[in-house]
Structure 1
């Protein structure tokens, strides 16, 4: 979440309004995903290697379609086990909001400890990388471009800051999982020397979980949740319910408290390829100006899994 201080000029005030409108929506801070249950590595490095094979995922999200300057996010990650206990991965996302663009690339490492002989494992994860911020003031469209406050404007280009994150990921075979993580524990301040202002990025804390129920030989039911907390903002909560038919077709719905209701669709094309789509209908006033949000997901996997693990897996 970004907080601005020391506002003294009209140009900077407009910049603040643009970014706040684009980024602040009833608890949204970091990039949000409706299909978070398939995109766990981005927020929790302890997930790396847990699927037992080389796993590559890609996700594209277009939020508030039709709203000028709305968030657009591209996410890519891969992870693989390198031994029975060690997993590694790489995650990347690009988030464009209004006049700002953030790129984040990080390496993930996990170490897993078996807690019993019934398939319960606890993984400790570390994340390290870089965040790159660009802000293009030339995209602003003031009513009076001759206003002295808009003269000699310098854009923010390639402002680099470190990323250090950590996570715990507890799972029991294909039955349930629970994770606690902070993708970046550092508080980073971005400075704008022209307007003498600053933007703070604070630590986000995530709690995720899910359980798989067998309804019949053909149907499985998986409820899942994600809680997201950051200082200075309300707790953000997402809950979802997915139904899995014949390990091929997934149908579900999700609710983001006080923000959006969603429909989810997934299809396991082969054991190694999964496609997913989600549509969000906004429940806030912005629904009058936007046409919902679209999210597309692709997972591609290569290799085999550990003995006794069902193929394919729900999470």
Structure 2
């Protein structure tokens, strides 16, 4: 019965999703800034990498599932940063895979190394596969569901990132091209469409509240013609090794966040989010996200976690 309900929900939502530029959703969006904003790549002092897996709406067939890898670092003795972003997004009958190369350039604002602005670009390819034959629909003549199609096309994005010792602000459009269904040709096409771009504006602050550190953050996501979405979070650092926190998403989700600093090189993250709306009747086990971050240096400086805590 749950699977039938999910198919009904998916078919109802699919037309609007095909006409909008989707982008992966992560609970630890601040820790995943390299995926969200190309300008973030290379802003840390070490070679930094991240692996993330997210399973959404556990127990529902065809529910969203995401995997991502981001590796980035600075080019020695320059203000240039480089990064690689790989993301896989599966939902229902569709699968999207992005492979991007990012580059950033940092500009020092105060001559003391305490305030910087970074501008970034990324470019690569997006592969999109849609298998409409798996759909259960009453309209047998709907061309969207009459076959399996795939497209591979160029994609690009940009971003800006301003940061200091204890706060940061970022803006990005990670993907400027989208896969939209063309009713004239009955095919999916990769095309530039401002109305389908996902835009992100986010920021945060880290302050001392002895004996702990507190990190409130806020993220806005905007797609033209869709309601403005936001995430508001707050994390607390305990004993310099464990972050715990909570987040609220405007789509009516509550999120429990945790982060474990294993040592100077590795950090493990886990989060659980649960729908507060009627969706929880069909996804009683919520959504789960796990990630592993590593920090290394190829010179004599030891790998370490950024003093900025973001």
Same fold (TM over 0.5): yes
Match of 1:184 in 2: 175
Aligned to 1:137: 132
Could you tell me whether the CA contact under 8 Å between 1:280 and 1:293 is conserved in 2?
Answer: yes
1:260 pairs with 2:222: no
Instruction: Report the secondary structure of 2:13's partner residue.
Output: helix
Does residue 43 (structure 1) correspond to residue 36 (structure 2)? The answer is yes
Instruction: Report whether the alignment pairs 1:241 with 2:234.
Output: yes
- Report the TM-score when normalising by structure 2: 0.85
| Separation (CA, whole Å) in 2 of partners of 1:82 and 1:15 | 50
Seen in structure 2, the aligned counterparts of structure 1 residues 137 and 40 have a Cα distance that, compared at 3 Å, is same
**Matched length:** 293
TM-score by length of 1: 0.83
Contact in 2 for aligned 1:22/1:97 (Cα 8 Å): no
Map residues 42-121 of structure 1 onto 2, 5 A cutoff: 42-83=35-76, 84-118=78-112, 119-121=114-116
2:125 & 2:187 partners in 1: Cα distance? Answer: 24
CA RMSD of aligned residues (A): 3.1
By how many angstroms is 1:23 displaced? 8.3
Does the 8 Å CA contact 1:267/1:276 hold for their aligned counterparts?
yes
C-alpha displacement at 1:21, in angstroms? 5.6
Question: Which gives a bigger RCO, structure 1 or 2 (Cα 8 Å, sep 6+)?
Answer: 1
Unaligned runs of 5+ in 2: 1-6
Change in Cα spacing, 1:135 to 1:310, as seen in structure 2 (3 Å) is closer
Aligned 8 A contact 1:263 1:279 in 2: yes
Residue 51 of structure 1 and its aligned partner are, at CA, apart by 1.2
User: Which residue in the other structure is 1:10 paired with?
Assistant: none
Q: Distance in 2 between matches of 1:149 and 1:206?
A: 34
Query: What is the CA distance between 1:29 and its match in structure 2?
Result: 4.1
Consecutive unaligned residues in structure 1, runs of 5 or more: 1-13
Three-state SS of the structure 2 residue aligned to 1:295 is strand
Distance 1:149 1:180 in 2: 38
What is residue 160 of structure 1 aligned with on the other side? 152
Structure 1 counterpart SS, 2:61: coil
SS in 2 for 1:33: coil
Q: Is the 8 A contact 1:18 1:98 kept in 2?
A: no
- Report the CA distance between 1:137 and its aligned residue: 2.6
Distance in 1, matches of 2:297 and 2:158, equals 27
Give distance in 2, aligned partners of 1:23 and 1:304. Answer: 47
> 1:206, 1:163 → 2: CA distance?
17
Post-superposition Cα deviations, 1:155-185, rounded to whole Å, max 9, x if no partner, equal 012x012211111100103x11110111123
- Relative to structure 1, is the Cα distance of residues 16 and 275 closer, same or farther in structure 2, using a 3 angstrom cutoff? closer
